[in-house]
Amino acid sequence: MYIITRRKMLNESIVLCDVKAPRVARTCLPGQFVIVKTDEKGERIPLTICDYDREQETVTIVFQIVGASTYKMAQLKEGDGFQDFTGPLGRPSDLCLMPLEQLKKKQIVFVAGGVGAAPVYPQVKWLKEQGVPSDVIMGARSKDILILEEEMKQVAENLYITTDDGSYVRKGLVTDVLRDLVADQGKNYDHCVAIGPLIMMKFVSLLTKELQIPTVVSMNPIMVDGTGMCGACRVTVGGQVRFACVDGPEFDGHLLNFDEAIKRQQIYRTEEGRAYLKAKEGDTHHGGCGNCGGEQ
Amino acid sequence: MDMLKKVPVKEQAPEVRAKNFEEVCLGYDEQEAVMEAGRCLNCKKPFCVGGCPVNIDIPGFITKLKEGSIEEAYQIISKDSALPAVCGRVCPQESQCEGKCIRGIKGEPIAIGKLERFAADWARQRGIRPVKEAVHNGKKVAVIGSGPAGLTCAGDLARLGYQVTIFEALHQPGGVLVYGIPEFRLPKDEVVAKEIQNVMDLGVKIETNVIVGRSVTIDQLLDEEGFDAVFIGSGAGLPRFMGIPGENANGVFSANEYLTRSNLMKAFDESYDTPIFRGKKVAVVGGGNVAMDAARTALRFGAEVHIVYRRSEAELPARVEEVHHAKEEGIIFDLLTNPVEILVDDNGWVKGMTCVRMELGEPDDSGRRRPVVIEGSEFDLALDTVIMALGTSPNPLISDTTKGLDVNRWHCIIADEKNGKTTKEGVYAGGDAVTGAATVILAMGAGKQAAQGIDEYLRNK
């Protein structure tokens, strides 16, 4: 059992948990992920590490309720535990492996979309601890689903916020903000890290290619084991097939085949949706899943 | 009774079992087992023992069965094997013990596997456990991986008095016995879990969810966690793909993924959350045991299933029994057939596979006749799912993070066959991590040798 020592709803569908997991907390670095399984019958869910405390031996995860398994995870309270919590998986962020001298010369911008703010946060924090400032652009559909704003403010050199519907700070996409910063405010970024929905990472990568800013994206594809066994997480990078779990999760955004990744994300969508409805509605389920015919 | 033939074993009828995940083979009852044991000639020089990678005293346990002393038969097997109920079910006996049986020269060999299974099941159902006589010697050994190699090595070391901890990457111990081999061949709760419990009863601890190379390194286990030696039995987990166009389409799975979803994650059981793609027409590419397992799993999920294999039936690497069962259940064998492209629809899903016909040419390095493409023989198979069962290779996670541990160009750890010794002091290895994908029993044999190697090393240290 891996005990939840702190639990907080960041908004109505995004949950933050600190989990006691000594082996993970001792060795993890920003960019890596964990696999969480709620109970015997749950799925293995990959989640990027949002923060960690080596002394308390806790790891912070943030997840959005999108299916049956994340819904079940969200039902757990402080003091409850996950049956399984394993990691750290994947390679740490390139920035963490770079010599400090080289790192200090970099002009780094992070682009975080939606729940992508969670995996961006530890990287920005880690850089600050090394004395390396970085800018952060955070985007969300609207104000109420923007997460970790206060935390990010503490660690980012400059934080730029935008919302799709204009309900907070400014209206527009993260790419609009990035373009403005480079074109109008004379920012000379030479390293971009973009983490968020696939479609956002795709368009950020297209823009940074045009702006000639090397860009790293972090993939969170479907996977089972997280150790290179299943191959479900395969992505194509520069024409080569790579496994996100062991070769990634970070890849060169200018080489990644986003269209393929977007299609692959759909594989279990309908089945996941069905399972979610079953979990949430139970016996009261009366259609809407597109499967049972109850709506007719 | 015809002494030249095996006593037949009861099985679920093919048309019934094709729709369920219950065990196919039902095993002998006591009367049948004693009758089959009666066929054993009790040879003075038993070749069968030499054919067994863990050298079980086969005539010894069969003699006890003949006498009706089943518990004694079980204890004889247990001296050499920690997993008899598993081995009785999944060993390729036809090329090992039974392949060497004198009875087999004229007629059918003794059904050694089925007798082993009977003795193990009989004992388990009566709560009889292997005898242990361990006195702790104060030394600690870490075993990486809880598959057949790791469990065997751990069990043997525990009997010798070592304090053993197994580190398992997944959430459940058993390795390939739980994620790879299907329920209908090897029941998990009834057989695998119980045999693992027997190993734990010898004093072996198992820590799940630890990925050695990430959660902790081998150097840390030796330097910081106080282990005196390490055995690596991490298997061969990385799936191969063909590298043909369309292979990343939705509906193309590695056999590892497909089987892990069904076996470890129990997708066949409605009460689990695991999704699995239930194709209607499935091709499984490959001809080994894993290919048969994936094909028969897809069949049970309701699909029409084709095995697509580039050589002929004689070269199928799968156990004869698995091929036989697969055919009985209605798997279609497209032999001498090789895929060249996976056809993909506009939404990125598999819609078919272009294949070529093959013929057999001269023997290659493996001694098998090399398949050669017949020019102009392309044809399309309409499909919605393709499962690649092309073999696996060892995971580089451990070798990449361990200083001084050498591997060959296939990422297989270099280890001495006799004692499992690697290029790093105090570190031993065996099983698929060393040989590449092989069988449960060979991994167990390697685990056994390594246990002896480790014991010798630590006694002289």
Per-residue model confidence as pLDDT tens digits over B152-187: 999 999 989 999 999 999 999 999 999 999 999 999
Residue B134 has pLDDT above 80, yes or no: no
Q: What is the pLDDT of residue B437?
A: 87
Q: Is A103:A95 a contact under the CB 8 Å cutoff?
A: yes
Residue of A nearest to B277 (CA): A268
Residues 6+ positions from A293 with CB-CB distance below 8 Å: A287
Q: Which one is predicted more confidently, A69 or B60? A: B60
Q: Does B219 touch chain A (CB under 8 A)?
A: no
Q: What is the pLDDT of residue A283?
A: 53
Residue of B nearest to A245 (CA): B397
Distances (CA, A) of A141 to A70, A144, A197, A226, B457: 20, 8, 11, 30, 62
Q: Is the Cβ pair A88, B254 closer than 8 Å?
A: no
- The CA distance from A127 to the nearest CA of chain B, in Å, is 22
Q: Residue A33 in 3-state DSSP?
A: strand
Show residues of chain A in contact with B267, CB under 8 Å. none
Q: Does B253 touch chain A (CB under 8 A)?
A: yes
d(CA B346, CA A41): 35
Q: Does B397 touch chain A (CB under 8 A)?
A: yes
Residue B428 has pLDDT above 70, yes or no: yes
Residue B8 has pLDDT above 80, yes or no: yes
Q: Is the Cβ pair B215, A224 closer than 8 Å?
A: no
Q: What is the pLDDT of residue A282?
A: 55
Residue of A43, A232, A260 lying closest to B257 (CB–CB):
A232
Residue type, B1: M
User: Chain A: which residues have CB within 8 Å of chain B?
Assistant: 23-24, 27, 37, 41-44, 68-69, 72, 83-89, 224-225, 227-232, 234, 236, 241, 246, 260, 263-264, 266-268, 271-272, 275, 279
- The CA distance from A167 to the nearest CA of chain B, in Å, is 35
Residue B250 has pLDDT above 80, yes or no: yes
Residue of A41, A72, A231 lying closest to B271 (CB–CB):
A41
Q: Does B231 touch chain A (CB under 8 A)?
A: no
Residue B410 has pLDDT above 80, yes or no: yes
Residue B442 has pLDDT above 80, yes or no: yes
Q: Is the Cβ pair A68, B241 closer than 8 Å?
A: no
Q: Which residues pair with B352 in a beta bridge?
A: B343, B382
Residues 6+ positions from B58 with CB-CB distance below 8 Å: B46, B48, B49, B52, B97, B112
For residue B366, what is the DSSP state? Answer: T
Window B:133-162, CB contacts with A under 8 Å: none
Structure confidence by residue, pLDDT tens digits, B111-127: 999 999 999 999 999 99
Q: What is the pLDDT of residue A281?
A: 57
- The CA distance from A177 to the nearest CA of chain B, in Å, is 32
Residue of B209, B214, B250 lying closest to A264 (CB–CB):
B250
Residue in B387, B427, B238, B388 with CA at minimum distance from that of residue B301: B387
Residue A277 has pLDDT above 70, yes or no: no
Q: Is A244:B244 a contact under the CB 8 Å cutoff?
A: no
Structure confidence by residue, pLDDT tens digits, B34-54: 999 999 999 999 999 999 988
Q: What is the pLDDT of residue A66?
A: 81
Residue type, A91: R
Q: Is the Cβ pair A41, B272 closer than 8 Å?
A: yes
Q: Residue B247 in 3-state DSSP?
A: coil
Domains of chain A and any CATH numbers = 2-89 (2.40.30.10), 98-218 (3.40.50.80)
Q: What is the pLDDT of residue A89?
A: 95
Residue A178 has pLDDT above 60, yes or no: yes
Residue A293: pLDDT band (50, 70, 90) is very low
Q: What is the pLDDT of residue B95?
A: 87
Q: What is the pLDDT of residue B367?
A: 81
Residue in B180, B234, B166 with CA at minimum distance from that of residue B394: B234
Q: How would you classify the pairing of strands A84-89 and A45-53?
A: unpaired
CA atoms within 13 A on the CB side of A289: 23
- Most confident range (mean pLDDT) of A68-72, A242-246, B173-177 is B173-177
CA atoms within 13 A on the CB side of A283: 0
Window B:191-210, CB contacts with A under 8 Å: 208-210
Mean pLDDT of A68-85: 93
d(CA B57, CA B76): 7
The CA-CA-CA angle for residues A220, A221, A225, to 5°, reads 100
Mean pLDDT of B260-265: 93
Residue of A89, A224, A264 lying closest to B265 (CB–CB):
A224
The residue written with tokens 């003075």 in the block is B44
Q: Is A253:A194 a contact under the CB 8 Å cutoff?
A: yes
Show residues of chain A in contact with B215, CB under 8 Å. 23-24, 27, 86-88
Q: Is the Cβ pair B171, A44 closer than 8 Å?
A: yes
Show residues of chain A in contact with B347, CB under 8 Å. 263
Structure-block tokens of residue A146: 């923007």
Residue A86: pLDDT band (50, 70, 90) is very high
Q: Does B271 touch chain A (CB under 8 A)?
A: yes
Mean pLDDT of A36-54: 93
Q: Is the Cβ pair B273, A83 closer than 8 Å?
A: no
Q: What is the pLDDT of residue A284?
A: 52
- Whole-number percent of chain B with pLDDT over 90: 82
Residue B386 has pLDDT above 90, yes or no: yes
Q: Is the Cβ pair B395, A232 closer than 8 Å?
A: no
Q: Is A189:B225 a contact under the CB 8 Å cutoff?
A: no
- The CA distance from A150 to the nearest CA of chain B, in Å, is 31
d(CA B178, CA A79): 31
Q: What is the pLDDT of residue A288?
A: 44
Residue A291: pLDDT band (50, 70, 90) is very low
Residues 6+ positions from A127 with CB-CB distance below 8 Å: A95, A103, A108, A133, A134, A155
State the count of interchain CB pairs (< 8 A) between A and B.
112
Residue A12: pLDDT band (50, 70, 90) is confident
- Whole-number percent of chain A with pLDDT over 90: 71
Q: What is the pLDDT of residue A268?
A: 75
Residue in B402, B434, B432 with CA at minimum distance from that of residue B417: B434
Residue A126 has pLDDT above 90, yes or no: yes
d(CA B215, CA B217): 7
Residue of B260, B271, B272 lying closest to A225 (CB–CB):
B260
Residue of B238, B266, B275 lying closest to A229 (CB–CB):
B238
Sequential DSSP letters for B113-177: HHHHHHHHHHHHHTT----------S-EEEEE--SHHHHHHHHHHHHTT-EEEEE-SSSSS-THH
Q: Does B216 touch chain A (CB under 8 A)?
A: yes
Task: For residue B445, give the H/E element and its range.
Answer: helix B440-460
Residue of B nearest to A42 (CA): B273
Residue in A149, A15, A28 with CA at minimum distance from that of residue A78: A15
Quote ipTM for the complex: 0.87
Residue A137 has pLDDT above 70, yes or no: yes
Mutation site for B-interface testing, chosen from A86, A257, A259 by largest number of B Cβ within 10 Å: A86
Residues 6+ positions from A172 with CB-CB distance below 8 Å: A162, A164, A166
For residue B6, what is the DSSP state? Answer: P
Q: What is the pLDDT of residue A276?
A: 61
Q: Does B412 touch chain A (CB under 8 A)?
A: no
Neighbours of A173 (CB within 10 A): 18
The residue written with tokens 């892990």 in the block is B260
Q: Is the Cβ pair A43, B265 closer than 8 Å?
A: yes
For residue B209, what is the DSSP state? Answer: S
Which of A154-168, A196-210, A274-288, B208-222 has the lowest average pLDDT? A274-288
Q: Is B27:B118 a contact under the CB 8 Å cutoff?
A: yes
Show residues of chain A in contact with B277, CB under 8 Å. 267-268, 271
